[in-house]
Structure 1
């Protein structure tokens, strides 16, 4: 009882202390708010209402873009992660209110707020979708796609969104980029894109991410990093199960708009066999795709050029007729042996040390 009394005393006292700031924000009076914050600099990140909201919560809830911009200039980025007593960040409130401009300002300051859930375990993009804010959905989707291009740890955010709204998997953003395209450019997010030493591979093969993994992170150097990679790999494989079925009923034009043709060539070029298989499983005729930007080569030829033996072997096992798979010659009349004679990509040559071993590996493509 005493603890409850102290809690409400603190909240009420804090609210009373900063009531002048609240009134200034309520009246959209930045000059008064600025003057108050100059005298009370800590108030910019303080909870100023009985419900635990900060000045940013208030400004965002009122939809005051100018106030939000000014507050963001004064506050540390960590303050954007503060939640009210109802477990809402300022971005969560914005997702309800629907201001695209405010959301972009906040995400530019601290992109991590895109992954913070409210009390209903919903991230801002999901909240926005539930409330039907289409412009904000598009804006936040573009933010997630952009960050996902540079940060594998945002795969959990993409998974959360697509498990609820799977149609977004094939929806391009304002730049024409879809999540399918982004993942196809990230071999490091997949098991096939990582090489491990003997001990690392032994540890990695533990199927479950549970107590054994967590114990090893404390006992064996470098295992924590492997644990984090394993988590990402598990999440990205789950993500494929959500994404790829979305292309199964698309026509040719819809597949192009979703970036499926581009994605199948990217996965072949990077050797992302997991993604390659899932794409073909969902849309088998993608195997006959032709890349007009590369002299009309097919997937078989792409595998040879990129020296991706896992993709090459998989296509070989499909037993597809050569002429239909577009693998006889390119527009420049280069056949498979010609392509094997081209210099291997540096990323593949670097996998083998020494010119002699590199040459030996190259010769194997002619056998």
Structure 2
């Protein structure tokens, strides 16, 4: 078999070419070609292709890709540009075994330059579906390449996005929301509002994606729903070879141009009712209901409140379990959404509803499930306290008969609370007993030390009168005061811990009684530790007066334990706020429906 003649791959470098044809089968061996492309060696690649013209269309990779697929995947831009001069438009549309063109390979890496080169050669590539049956613009947005997606969107024919019941358009809108490309999403909704309610396969509808991606704080910042439908003329046009899409907003005879890196549009605020008015509420009720319940489970207060304000009939929707929005808000412990009930004149009617299992809203408040979000609360004691606060608040506003009503399992709301919270109550009891035991030991040690220190005072006593020699010294007076404060505060702490240890640990005790004792016990224990260190420092000053080189470093070290006292202080603050703070329920909300 003949060999290739000697060829030059770089200045002053000569390489002997190996066989490119298999001696047994007579087929061309593409191993060298693959290696040359991956190395970015265009000279060797060109020589191979000139010697074997059919290699341009041959499937040379394991996945059935051509040399162009390989060059794009390897991000060898200069080779891609050279190959485009050798390949026809038809060959450019060749797909690998998975059904992807070279354009789809370029999209994966997000290489803007290669995408532009490929489309310039064959613009119809923007209409070829990928292995996932997605248009290139849809796949690009799904991968988060926003600038590239904007460029492809400007070239994608409208009929491609609207085909198959607008599945591609709905996907693009959903991915734009997930990528936070809000200006493009706004344009898509303006272009076809029905896309916001369209489902596509296993994915969320765009409206549901909005509740997943946007938290309440983000909603408040950008006022998304209030900008969905707006009274401006918006159009997107190609920016030529630039990496920007131009959104022209005509407002007050001014034109604004927003680049692809900017997501926020300064538009006139409108309520979501403008969007809902475009549709028959009965046609969209299922989608809207599912979206609202999804938003409730994620605590998206702004989304829910805007939807309810736009159409007050949504207050009475139910999910598949027969729960109203307030049942669901209580189940997921979303207090901001639950607070909306205080502004309703018809709240007594809503509070009487039952779900499919016969549970009233009070039963829901007494139910602790795996979806109940309590992990963000510090410690099982505060978690139990928050659960009781929820139950008590719902019980307060419910009709009196709700307390006695039984569900299908024959349980009252109180029985259900006791049953589902048994493990949490036991965890709280165990934690409090362990904590109070440790605190009692520390408090007892401080009592012993400070009691002894009161009678072994620094400086000694007069032999005749028995009075302290340093009785008139200001430092001595400070020593006596802080020693007494430490002694009495540690004694109080031990008594509080003893009261906690001997408590009956009923559900009601976790609301006020046990947290109050714990607050007093922790506070007095911290106070006794701090005053003990102060007493120690003043005693050193009295004893080693004039020897600053000794007592200054020692007193400095005495401050170290005080710093560590602040570590559990956060728990004390959380417990105080939870017990004596303003609470999470806004009972003073004004009536508005």
- With the length of structure 2 as denominator, give the TM-score of the two structures: 0.40
> What is the CA–CA distance in structure 1 between the aligned matches of 2:293 and 2:196, rounded to whole Å?
18
2:435 alignment counterpart: none
**1:139 maps onto 2:168 in alignment:** yes
| 1:72-96 Cα shifts (integer Å, max 9, x gaps) | 798794364326779968998633x
2:381 alignment counterpart: 356
1:309 alignment counterpart: 335
1:46 alignment counterpart: 78
- Structure 1 window deviating more from structure 2 (246-255 vs 261-270): it is 246-255
Q: How far is the alpha carbon of 1:319 from its aligned partner? A: 2.4
> What is the CA–CA distance in structure 2 between the aligned matches of 1:310 and 1:27, rounded to whole Å?
65
> What is the CA–CA distance in structure 2 between the aligned matches of 1:237 and 1:357, rounded to whole Å?
43
Q: 1:104 aligns with which of 124, 128, 134?
A: 134
Q: How far is the alpha carbon of 1:308 from its aligned partner? A: 0.7
Q: Which runs of 5+ in 1 are unaligned?
A: 1-13, 195-203, 208-231
Contact 1:141 1:173 (8 Å CA) reproduced: yes
Over 3 Å counting, the alpha-carbon distance change for 1:70 and 1:165 in structure 2 is: closer
Over 3 Å counting, the alpha-carbon distance change for 1:343 and 1:289 in structure 2 is: same
Over 3 Å counting, the alpha-carbon distance change for 1:318 and 1:236 in structure 2 is: farther
Contact 1:92 1:124 (8 Å CA) reproduced: no
> What is the CA–CA distance in structure 1 between the aligned matches of 2:266 and 2:338, rounded to whole Å?
21
Over 3 Å counting, the alpha-carbon distance change for 1:58 and 1:315 in structure 2 is: farther
Question: In structure 2, the residue corresponding to 1:185 is in which secondary structure?
Answer: helix
Q: How far is the alpha carbon of 1:65 from its aligned partner? A: 3.3
**1:335 maps onto 2:360 in alignment:** yes
> What is the CA–CA distance in structure 2 between the aligned matches of 1:40 and 1:179, rounded to whole Å?
32
2:276 alignment counterpart: 247
- Structure 1 window deviating more from structure 2 (328-337 vs 245-254): it is 245-254
Q: How far is the alpha carbon of 1:129 from its aligned partner? A: 5.3
**1:115 maps onto 2:146 in alignment:** yes
Q: 1:282 aligns with which of 310, 314, 325?
A: 310
> What is the CA–CA distance in structure 2 between the aligned matches of 1:126 and 1:276, rounded to whole Å?
34
Over 3 Å counting, the alpha-carbon distance change for 1:360 and 1:91 in structure 2 is: farther
Contact 2:171 2:200 (8 Å CA) reproduced: yes
**1:167 maps onto 2:199 in alignment:** no
Q: Once superposed, what is the RMSD of the aligned Cα atoms?
A: 5.3
Question: In structure 1, the residue corresponding to 2:100 is in which secondary structure?
Answer: helix
| 1:172-226 Cα shifts (integer Å, max 9, x gaps) | 223473111222234xx223489xxxxxxxxx99x9xxxxxxxxxxxxxxxxxxx
RCO (CA 8 Å, sep 6+): is it higher in 1 or 2?
1
Of Structure 1 and Structure 2, which has the larger fraction of its residues in helix? 1
1:264 alignment counterpart: 292
Over 3 Å counting, the alpha-carbon distance change for 1:330 and 1:117 in structure 2 is: same
> What is the CA–CA distance in structure 1 between the aligned matches of 2:333 and 2:96, rounded to whole Å?
54
Contact 1:18 1:48 (8 Å CA) reproduced: no
2:95 alignment counterpart: 65
> What is the CA–CA distance in structure 1 between the aligned matches of 2:388 and 2:58, rounded to whole Å?
71
**1:124 maps onto 2:148 in alignment:** no
Contact 2:71 2:79 (8 Å CA) reproduced: no
Over 3 Å counting, the alpha-carbon distance change for 1:79 and 1:303 in structure 2 is: closer
> What is the CA–CA distance in structure 1 between the aligned matches of 2:290 and 2:71, rounded to whole Å?
56
| 1:270-324 Cα shifts (integer Å, max 9, x gaps) | 2211110222233331111011x22x1111111111111100111331323433x
1:217 alignment counterpart: none
Over 3 Å counting, the alpha-carbon distance change for 1:193 and 1:308 in structure 2 is: farther
1:82 alignment counterpart: 113
Contact 1:248 1:282 (8 Å CA) reproduced: no
Corresponding pairs, count: 300
> What is the CA–CA distance in structure 1 between the aligned matches of 2:135 and 2:179, rounded to whole Å?
23
Question: In structure 1, the residue corresponding to 2:373 is in which secondary structure?
Answer: helix
Question: In structure 2, the residue corresponding to 1:266 is in which secondary structure?
Answer: helix
- With the length of structure 1 as denominator, give the TM-score of the two structures: 0.60
> What is the CA–CA distance in structure 2 between the aligned matches of 1:334 and 1:312, rounded to whole Å?
17
> What is the CA–CA distance in structure 1 between the aligned matches of 2:270 and 2:329, rounded to whole Å?
24
Question: In structure 1, the residue corresponding to 2:134 is in which secondary structure?
Answer: helix
Contact 2:84 2:118 (8 Å CA) reproduced: no
Q: How far is the alpha carbon of 1:336 from its aligned partner? A: 2.1
Instruction: Give matches, 1:29-44, under 5 Å.
Output: 29-30=57-58, 34=66
Contact 1:46 1:54 (8 Å CA) reproduced: no
> What is the CA–CA distance in structure 2 between the aligned matches of 1:87 and 1:39, rounded to whole Å?
12
| 1:326-366 Cα shifts (integer Å, max 9, x gaps) | 75322332222211111165663122112222222122221
Q: Which runs of 5+ in 2 are unaligned?
A: 1-41, 224-260, 394-593
